């Protein structure tokens, strides 16, 4: 490593206490400096945009497509371009380390954070994660692959114990990390997960960190914890966790670590190794050359806009197109009427949690379709129903009333009081959401916080309200207590990410009269599993007119659809429904079946009904047989409306393919009955039961499961997707690979665009034993390439499939084994639609190191 600083000398110059201080953050986003000796750097979330220091309402940033959307492109070059742009965004926020990509497996459709990860397939996930990493690091910014390992659910994610066989770990859950770590230079940082694996938390799991990551894979970068995910002092240091985040430290207080060293629980050489990794990380980021942390900037780059729009469109998957109902091209729909229904005016750009950003802008499908077709057709709209999980913040209800603070400015006056003396400590103006960010700004420890303002409704009658707080909270109207939450929220993570449950109640207001709202909240005293929120305060107040809340919107939508030539229903999850910190409430679209009823009603009123679904996960589709067109749009980023409109109108020929299987029923999923687990008796002596989940499906995840149970169990298989064009494949050829682990089989196939429009086609090659064995999957993805062709154009495509990928991980031998015998290479239109097969013979058993 080229270096302008002698790191050995720097390390020797540090006292034991100074070295220990480097092993945890100094605040929420920054590492600890040693004045005159060691600089610090800033980190930032996240997977589809660089948010900056503020968790909510911060510096605007570009929002890129979510990983599931990038995965649907099956385009490694595009993934690398997205990574490079994310690095530029991180630098604009003064950060040199991006906390991305998220690279866990879509084990179950109800996984709350699936959208942040790429796929159910470890090979696809690893290849795309690798390219995002290389793109990020090409700009000198560190990528942080996460969460190592097996973070496949959000329920009790801080404490859940996952029981997984080593074979399943190696072949499925560690495989994408292995690919990314070994390709090119690999990521410069790895983030551990919150959960336990086989009884040991990831941050102190010697099998993961010592045996696999640093041992078998030979990786020597920085290992950091997830935020609040350090569960021990000595054990995590010994296992190989270099950096506890965030700061100030909870587990690595200097006196505690010094005591552990003196008690021989941690060798001083271990402290030296951990500190060395931190120093090398800082040096790699050129922090010793320039230690400045620039102020955050909101730079809205045209090239980022264009990339987001392109990537979002290329990730859209056309799943159904009966009678060629799509595209809605200008010449086809000129002079006709199109109804845009449901979430058409809601830009579903991203999921919730670490992946959310304050976007420069978000384009809704309504706005994009108006811009694209507005002069050609009559476009009408119907909402169709309410799908909000939480009532809108009271300050957002400008059409229904307004809130002004005690100073007359829109919003609230925020007061902080000493909890013991009730003395007023500070007064400031509150943000529009009536929410004190629980992790930003000044500490509110031992403070009572009040939001106060005057609300003037625009209509008389009953209004719905909702209130919640991180700690005990009260809502007063004209000094009358109307709601009280007596205890800290039972779901601190849900509250943090705006996805907690809230009690709704009604209150009668009179138009034009000013009502004094006062919300009083205490700091949270207990946030089990999320102790970094303890001592913090946060609150929200929601509001909606009764007439709007209780309106019959379904009938209106059916009427609008009936009068149109085409009806496009937009369905999906907003960040309150699909978010970090919460698994999905249901396999059906929210809320309470309202979106399914909407599609059924519209399809019954209009024979040309098209559904555009924006989720990061598979959902139930009880209406599938009743619609003509279906596009899975995922979360395409801030240009979501434009990306979707490009596909609907044919400006972009859809080329996305399914990176996950969409099952017909939740009962047909491989982890059904083993997600999110069951509570077991106390094993830690703290008197509490712990959630335990067994990965009983083993290696049969995703299409590996559906290959065994049949196609009728899936609505749409992995790798599936339609086009506005057609393609033909010539005979596939496979040449024998060698015997070394670096050797591969060469696969060659000629593909031709036989349609009338340019388009992209996915060449996907699977490999499996010719003689089926119930202990092994039928096949697995071994190579893929996205090819774009003009009408009539043909191209020979050459792919490489590693010899090791024919085999399996043999736990008894601790090696990857390719048994002798015959193996089928299959060219597929999807994992379940095989076009042709070539059989090769392995003459003798081959074994490869782990």
Residues catalogued as catalytic: 226
Is residue 135 within 8 A of residue 180, CB to CB? The reply is no
* Distance, CA of 22 to CA of 243 (rounded, Å): 8
Burial class (CB in 10 A: 0-12, 13-18, 19+), 115: buried
CA proximity to 207, closest of 239, 230, 171, 160 = 239
β-bridge pairing 744-753 and 733-735: antiparallel
CA–CA separation, 734 and 458 (whole Å): 72
Neighbours of 323 (CB within 10 A): 9
What φ, ψ does residue 678 adopt, rounded to 5°?
A: -135, 150
Torsion of CA 327, 328, 331, 333, to 10 degrees: 150
Task: Specify the DSSP element, H or E, that contains 546.
Answer: helix 546-549
Which DSSP symbol is given to 303?
H
Residue 200 burial (CB count, 10 A)? 17
Put residue 719 in one of left, alpha, beta given phi > 0 → left and psi -120 to 50 → alpha. Answer: left
- Widest pairwise Cα distance in the chain: 87
Distances (CA, A) of 626 to 558, 593, 600: 14, 17, 7
Q: State how far the alpha carbon of 535 is from the alpha carbons of 329, 409, 434, 484, in Å.
A: 56, 29, 19, 19
DSSP assignments along 469-490, one per residue: ESS-EEEEETTEEEEEE-S--S
248 upstream amide cis, omega within 30 of 0: yes
φ/ψ (deg, to 5) at 446? 60, 30
Query: Do 391 and 466 form a contact (C-beta atoms < 8 A)?
Result: yes
Cα separation, 797 vs 690, whole angstroms: 51
Query: What is the helix (H) or strand (E) element at residue 306, kind and residue range?
Result: helix 302-315
Q: Give CA–CA dist 785/692, Å, rounded.
A: 39
State how far the Cα of 829 lies from the Cα of 723, in Å rounded to an integer.
12
Closest CA to 227 of 531, 676, 536, 499: 531
Neighbours of 587 (CB within 10 A): 18
């Amino acid at each position: 490593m080229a270096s302008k600083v002698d790191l050995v000398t720097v390390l020797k110059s540090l006292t034991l206490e100074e070295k220990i201080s480097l092993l945890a953050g100094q605040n929420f986003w920054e590492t600890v400096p040693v004045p005159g000796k060691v600089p610090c750097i800033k980190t930032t979330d996240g997977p589809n945009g660089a948010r900056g220091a503020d968790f909510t309402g911060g510096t605007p940033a570009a929002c890129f497509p979510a990983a599931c959307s990038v995965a649907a492109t099956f385009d490694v070059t595009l993934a690398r371009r997205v990574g490079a742009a994310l690095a530029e965004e991180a630098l604009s926020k003064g950060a040199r380390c991006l906390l991305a990509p998220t690279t866990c497996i879509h084990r179950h459709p109800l996984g709350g954070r699936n959208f942040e990860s790429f796929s159910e397939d470890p090979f696809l996930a690893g290849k795309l994660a690798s390219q995002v990493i290389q793109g990020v690091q090409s700009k000198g910014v560190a990528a942080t692959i996460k969460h190592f390992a097996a973070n496949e659910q959000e329920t009790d994610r801080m404490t859940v114990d996952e029981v997984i066989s080593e074979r399943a770990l190696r072949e499925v859950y560690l495989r994408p990390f292995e690919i990314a770590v070994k390709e090119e230079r690999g990521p410069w940082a790895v983030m551990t997960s919150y959960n336990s694996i086989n009884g040991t938390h990831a941050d102190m799991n010697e099998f993961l960190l010592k045996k696999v990551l640093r041992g078998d894979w030979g990786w020597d970068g920085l290992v950091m914890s997830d935020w609040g995910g350090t569960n021990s002092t000595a054990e995590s240091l010994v296992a190989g966790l270099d950096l506890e985040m965030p700061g100030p430290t909870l587990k690595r207080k200097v006196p505690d670590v010094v005591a552990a060293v003196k008690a021989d629980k941690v060798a001083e050489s271990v402290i030296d190794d951990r500190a060395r990794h931190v120093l090398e990380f800082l040096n790699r980021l050129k922090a010793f050359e320039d230690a400045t942390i620039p102020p955050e900037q909101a730079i809205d780059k045209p090239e980022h806009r264009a990339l987001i729009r392109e990537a979002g469109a290329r990730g859209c998957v056309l799943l159904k197109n009966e009678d060629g109902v799509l595209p809605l091209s200008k010449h086809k729909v000129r002079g006709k009427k199109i109804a845009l229904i449901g979430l058409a005016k809601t830009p579903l750009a991203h999921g919730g949690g670490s992946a959310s950003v304050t976007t420069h802008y978000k384009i809704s499908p309504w706005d994009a379709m108006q811009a694209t077709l507005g002069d050609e057709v009559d476009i009408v709209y119907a909402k169709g129903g309410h799908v909000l999980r939480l009532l809108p913040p009271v300050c957002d209800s400008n059409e229904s009333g307004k809130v002004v603070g005690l100073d007359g400015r829109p919003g609230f006056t925020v007061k902080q009081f000493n909890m013991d003396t009730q003395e007023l400590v500070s007064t400031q103006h509150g943000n529009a959401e009536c929410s004190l960010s629980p992790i930003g700004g000044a500490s509110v420890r031992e403070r009572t916080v009040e939001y106060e303002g005057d609300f003037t409704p625009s209509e008389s009658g009953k209004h719905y309200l909702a209130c919640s707080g991180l700690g005990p909270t009260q809502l007063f109207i004209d000094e009358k207590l109307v709601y009280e939450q007596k205890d800290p929220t039972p779901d601190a993570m849900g509250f943090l990410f705006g996805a907690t449950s809230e009690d709704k109640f009604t209150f009668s207001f009179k138009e034009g009269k000013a009502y004094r709202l006062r919300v009083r909240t205490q700091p949270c005293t207990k946030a089990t599993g999320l102790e970094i929120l303890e001592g913090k305060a946060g609150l929200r107040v929601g509001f909606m007119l009764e007439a709007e809340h209780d309106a019959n919107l379904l009938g209106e939508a059916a009427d609008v659809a009936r009068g149109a030539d085409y009806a496009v229903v937009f369905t999906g999850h907003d960040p309150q429904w699909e978010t970090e910190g919460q698994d999905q409430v249901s396999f059906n679209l929210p809320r309470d079946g309202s979106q399914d009823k909407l599609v059924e009603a519209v399809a019954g009123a209009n024979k040309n009904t098209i559904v555009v679904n924006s989720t990061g996960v598979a959902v139930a589709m009880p209406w599938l047989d009743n619609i003509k067109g279906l596009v899975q749009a995922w979360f395409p980023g801030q240009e979501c409306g434009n990306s979707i409109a490009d596909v609907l109108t044919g400006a972009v020929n859809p080329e996305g393919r399914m990176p996950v299987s969409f099952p017909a029923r939740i009962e047909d999923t491989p982890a059904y009955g083993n997600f999110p687990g069951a509570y077991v008796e106390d094993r830690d002596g703290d008197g509490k039961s712990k959630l335990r989940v067994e990965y009983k499906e083993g290696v049969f995840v995703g299409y590996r499961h559906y290959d065994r149970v049949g196609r009728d169990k899936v609505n749409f298989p992995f790798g599936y997707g339609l086009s506005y064009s057609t393609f033909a494949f010539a005979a596939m050829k496979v040449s024998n690979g060698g015997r070394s682990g670096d050797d591969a089989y060469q696969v060659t196939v000629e593909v031709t665009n036989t349609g009338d429009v340019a388009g992209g086609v996915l060449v996907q090659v699977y490999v499996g034993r010719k003689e089926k064995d119930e202990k092994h999957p039928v096949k697995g993805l071994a190579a893929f390439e996205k090819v774009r062709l003009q009408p009539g154009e043909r191209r020979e495509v050459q792919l490489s499939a590693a010899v090791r990928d024919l085999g399996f991980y043999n736990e008894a031998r601790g090696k990857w084994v390719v048994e002798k015998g015959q193996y089928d290479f299959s060219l597929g239109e999807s994992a379940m639609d095989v076009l042709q097969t070539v059989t090769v013979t392995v003459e003798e058993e081959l074994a490869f190191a782990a």
